[in-house]
Amino acid sequence: MLNHIRVDCYSGHRGEETPRRFWMESRCVQVHEVLDQWLSPDHRYFKVLADDGDIYILRHDPHGQAWALIFFNKGPRKN
């Protein structure tokens, strides 16, 4: 899965962007918690828990300033 998305970020004191919300088409998803983050030679990755209870992995290309959704895991649903 690789879907380009729009992401709003918070830039901390070091200027590193951390996702706060993102849009999949017209749907806004709020980031509840950043569970993990890591670097590769060309990208930054964020594993986030969203307000819908689902887990997403977002990839940021700092050179092209592009974001992509690369993984989605549906969280447990309460009955």
Q: What is the pLDDT of residue 10?
A: 82
Rounded (5°) CA angle 53-3-60: 85
Domain residues for the domain of 37 are 3-73
Tens-digit pLDDT string for the chain (79 aa): 567 799 999 876 555 679 999 998 889 999 999 999 999 999 999 999 999 999 999 999 988 889 999 999 887 766 5
List the end-to-end C-alpha distance of the chain, in Å, as a whole number: 28
Give the pLDDT of residue 51: 94
Question: Does some domain include residue 48?
Answer: yes
Q: What is the pTM for the complete model shown? A: 0.84
Query: Is residue 40, in this structure, part of any structural domain at all?
Result: yes
* Tally of structural domains, the chain: 1
Does residue 7 fall inside a structural domain? Answer: yes
Query: What is the pLDDT, as a whole number, of residue 1?
Result: 55
